Chains A and B, each alone.
Chain A
Amino acid sequence: MALWPTGAVQHSNKNISSQMRYASLPREIVCTENLTPWKKLLPCESSCGFSALLNSRMIHNTNYHSIGVNFRKVCANKDCSEIKFEIKQTVALVYDYKIIGSIDWSFKKLFGQGLPGACPLASSSKVYVDTTTNDTQPFKLVPPPDSMILSQRGGSDTNIAVYNIKANRQMINIGAKNEVTNKLTVTVPPPLHFNRYVLGYGKEFGGIVTELTNNFWTPINVVLMENAPWWLPIQLSSLRINGEAESDLVISQFYSPGRSRQKPYHLELLLKLPPRSTTTITIDFEFVFLKWQEYPPDANHGFYIGSALISANLPTARNYTSLPITGSTFSSVFNASKPWYPAVLRTNGAMVSLPTPDFSMPYNVICLACTVVALAFGPLHNICTKELVLKPNGKPLSFTQKILNLFKKKKD
């Protein structure tokens, strides 16, 4: 329910979600080694064009960064008899004013350098700047934009400044200068936000809590997809929504139990989030003992749980910049009003600490057991093989007495 094909897929009665494959590597983080192959997919690589801005020293200095590659089939002509492939590469960076040092920003401040013109192979290269807050907190764009666009989408108006970047290898440094520098506008929070954490103590049972907050004034339908690896068995019987086992909020649910070392656990819930409320979803899991070779290096660090996937149909397009499903470029966003706006969101991940054995224990046990055996063995061996013989009293002289006798003889 949570994920569906977005490209041109042949319509058939087959259950398409049964062909879905989902994988996540929660321990892996995006870093330079992912950025370089990502850039290599572009025809101009990082020699010119927008990817020249992605200087790994600067972009890993942000509050949030993500890179993405989306691949889908799209129709090549009107009646969709031919299909072509679309590859979409995305970067999202969230900067902190504290890191930049001021509320004025520019390409130089954000990326460490200007933009060296567009990629000569690009058919269109554009920079869009959202200038909606210009009314409340005036700022000036330097250099001035080539054109302005007013986009009305889902009842919210957005002013957008457009720069056409030409492939002339001239450095461009777009920036904003605020007139008032000691005030900040507070951004309106998005209609949905989430939080997730791990419950429990001891090494027997634990729980994952996912909190979904709906700030909007109408109910929002969301699908929550939880995918737990086999070593984190989540039990459907322990599912509680706002503390209740049977909740009216659940419209539909799907659960596929996992199998040890073979299949992960999969839970999907279609929920109707009531307006201006927080819904808490709790599900318990049992701690599992792994085989000693299944532990990763540094097992005491803990095990990462992947994020839950939440797909929502938002009723409002405020702060929503995702492309409509038919669009390929950012310009398809303008005035693209729809009854609802699909969004796939990911919660934060979490970490559990599975019972981890002391890996040096076998050696310690061997040493200890061997010592005990050796201690017991000595007397046992002596009893079995040695004979206690009574010595005639006083007859044989001891070594000291012999020496004493020697001295006595000398004295004589």
Chain B
Amino acid sequence: MGTESNRMWASAAFVGVLIVIGMPLWWKTTEVYRVSLPYDKISSFNTEAHYVTTQLNVLANDERTASEIIGLIEKTFEDADIIKLKIKKIILSEELQSKLETAASEHRSVEELANAFDLEQHNTFYVVQKKSLLQDVWLANERVMFYSDDKSSSIVVEVLKQWIYQTSVLLGARSEKADAARQTRFPPSNGYHVVLSIVQPRPDAIRVDFPTKEAVEDYIGTFVDELSVLHNFTLKSQWLYLLDFDFQATEVKDKTEWGRHYAVAQDRLSLLLTKLEERAATQVSELSTINLALYATPCEKAPLAIYDSSDRMISAPVPAFMSPKWGGVVLGSPSAADCNDEVPTWQPNIRTIMGAFISHLRKLIGIVDNEYIDGAFLEPLKSVVPRKWEIDNLLRIRTLEQLTSAERTLQSLAQLLGEISNIVINDEVGALINSAVENIRVASHLLGEGKLLEAYETSLIAFLAAESAFMEPSLLSLLYFPDDQKYAIYIPLFLPIMFPVVLSLKHLILWMRGKPIHKEKTE
């Protein structure tokens, strides 16, 4: 029986080499490379759980007013899960009280307050009592709001909710479906490329004197400087000549100096964007581009006016329109006097035109205009710079948007990885995903603590890492190497070899159990 066991050992050796070592080795070597990813963390993301903590200082002349105001604010924001207020009660000193009351204007009062408190702090807002107010509530461009007495507390709460914290917009930034504000503003990015194009269709017929460089620097430059905590901006301007576009405008007689105007249907305007896109060469920057275009209407078609779908003229200081996530266009028309000159020259009114562009830019960046609240007065903007509390709110919106967007990106990537087995995750992409996951955790924590600036920066890193991991071309390097090719290469080896080995298994098992393999031939 010695030879019998030798044969069985040989058979076992074949099985060992081929099935126990060979098959796993083959499987391992043809595997798609994937770094291990924190799937459990990614699947446990809850986009609805993020909230912002913010500091609110309530300043009142006496204890009773303060408690009443705070009580009402707390009650209103109790059930808002997106924003948590850290309210601090401060009783105004006699000296400051008299200073505030006797100040010549509300503006002076803000200055007095700035001496006593640090108004430059992000994510901190001051609600201050000032008895000598004409209105119930007066909202400054700084992080300050005045109220007259405890009777105006309901308006204070309303202003806080709708203007200062804009809870509906915050909810929209977090929710899965984009709200109106998110549909308008550009998606988050670490920078934007702002291009001002002056479109001149007839350079032979009229001269346009527009100091492009100064206009861009003075207006857009000043505006975006204030937003430098949020994004980097690159500014450019260009002239586009001979852009051939037919507005299909119809002449309408009126009583202006022209004696006419040309009516442009609203639906026609989107076609101008296509024409502009063709020429504007916006792809030169890898950042997303905010397009601003001034269309210098030729004399024979001036002045233009935009008509809405029900054929009514839209009245505005200058006809302009905005395209969400694309940019804004101003249709500038020379005056009749400009066109009747010997050398027709048009000097556009820089203030109105750049004002229109700034209002477009505000919406495209994400600043939401406020609806009117009865009894509340909002200090009008005196220059192009955004209000201080608008920047704070923008930081809150963007942080939430970046966090939820990064989480959704990672979740869909994880889902894709589950569905398509050929996606490669190399070390770099793995590191990006891990850093995104880590930064999301940190940013969410910072946001809950009320450290808004740090939270914004961390969430931006997380957002960019998640986006670049999702868009990385190396993910697709093996997409066209399907599984059947993997089998095609090895089947010629494994199929003929496996037959005898698998068949010998039966004998091997029988022998191991100690049963005789050959039936004793008795005769």
Contact = CB atoms under 8 A, between A and B. Distances in A.
Contact of B242 (A44, A375, A385): A44
Interface string A45-74: 101100000000000000000000000000
B19 interface: no
Contacts of A384: 7, 10-11, 14
Contacts of B203: 120-121
B204 A377 contact: no
Given A121-B203, A371-B492, A387 B3 contact: yes
Nearest to A121: B203
A121 B203 CA distance: 7
B501 interface: yes
A78 interface: no
B38 interface: no
Nearest to A45: B242
Nearest to B244: A47
A370 interface: yes
Given A44-B242, A385-B7, A385-B10, A366 B489 contact: yes
Contact of B492 (A47, A121, A366): A366
Nearest to A369: B493
B492 A40 contact: no
Interface string B478-499: 0000000000011011011100
Contact of B493 (A48, A374, A392): A374
B496 A374 contact: yes
B493 A370 contact: yes
Nearest to A375: B496
B493 A373 contact: yes
Nearest to B504: A385
Contact of B241 (A44, A367, A373, A395): A44
A363 interface: yes
A378 B11 contact: no
A185 B356 CA distance: 66
B497 A373 contact: yes
A410 interface: no
Interface string A380-399: 01101111010010010000
Interface string A80-109: 000000000000000000000000000000
Nearest to A44: B242
Task: Please indicate which of the listed interface residues B7, B490, B492, B518 has the most CB atoms of chain A within 10 Å of its own CB.
Answer: B492
Given A40-B281, A366-B492, A395 B523 contact: yes
A225 to B, nearest CB: 32
A121 B11 CA distance: 90
Contact of B204 (A120, A381, A386, A392): A120
A386 B518 CA distance: 12
A382 B497 CA distance: 12
A143 interface: no
B520 to A, nearest CB: 12
Nearest to A396: B521
Given A47-B242, A121-B203, A167-B204, A370 B10 contact: no
Task: Please indicate which of the listed interface residues A47, A366, A385, A387 has the most CB atoms of chain B within 10 Å of its own CB.
Answer: A385
A390 to B, nearest CB: 12
A322 to B, nearest CB: 30
A43 interface: yes
A154 B490 CA distance: 76
Contacts of B7: 384-387
A387 B239 CA distance: 93
B500 A378 contact: yes
Contacts of B239: 43
Given A44-B241, A48-B242, A377 B10 contact: no
Contacts of B40: none
A384 to B, nearest CB: 4
Contacts of A374: 492-493, 495-497
B485 to A, nearest CB: 9
Interface string B1-27: 001100110110010000000000000
Nearest to A374: B496
A384 B521 CA distance: 24
A363 B487 CA distance: 12
Contact of B14 (A48, A371, A381): A381
A45 B279 CA distance: 9
Contacts of B241: 43-44, 120-121
A389 B242 CA distance: 99
Contacts of A47: 242, 244
Nearest to A395: B523
A370 B491 CA distance: 9
Contacts of A378: 496, 500
Nearest to B507: A385
A384 B11 CA distance: 7
A309 B493 CA distance: 55
B21 to A, nearest CB: 16
Contacts of A392: 521
Contacts of B497: 373-374, 377
Interface string B228-261: 0000000000010110100000000000000000
A45 B521 CA distance: 100
B4 A385 contact: no
A47 B521 CA distance: 103
Contacts of A371: 492, 496
Contacts of A44: 241-242
B496 A377 contact: yes
A370 B497 CA distance: 9
A50 to B, nearest CB: 14
Contact of A370 (B4, B492, B507): B492
Contacts of A167: 204
A381 B500 contact: yes
A385 B493 contact: no
Nearest to B501: A381
Contacts of A375: 496
Nearest to B494: A370
Contacts of B500: 377-378, 381-382, 385
Contacts of A43: 239, 241
Interface string B46-72: 000000000000000000000000000
A43 B4 CA distance: 94
A289 to B, nearest CB: 24
Interface of A: 40, 43-45, 47-48, 120-121, 167, 363, 366-367, 370-371, 373-375, 377-378, 381-382, 384-387, 389, 392, 395
What 10 pairs between A and B have smallest CB-CB spacing? A120-B204, A374-B496, A370-B493, A370-B492, A384-B10, A385-B11, A47-B242, A381-B500, A120-B203, A367-B492
Given A40-B281, A370-B490, A384-B14, 20 more contacts: A40-B279, A45-B242, A45-B279, A121-B203, A366-B493, A367-B492, A370-B493, A371-B496, A374-B493, A374-B496, A374-B497, A381-B14, A381-B500, A385-B8, A385-B10, A385-B500, A387-B7, A389-B518, A392-B521, A395-B523
6 contacts: A120-B204, A363-B489, A371-B492, A374-B495, A385-B504, A395-B523
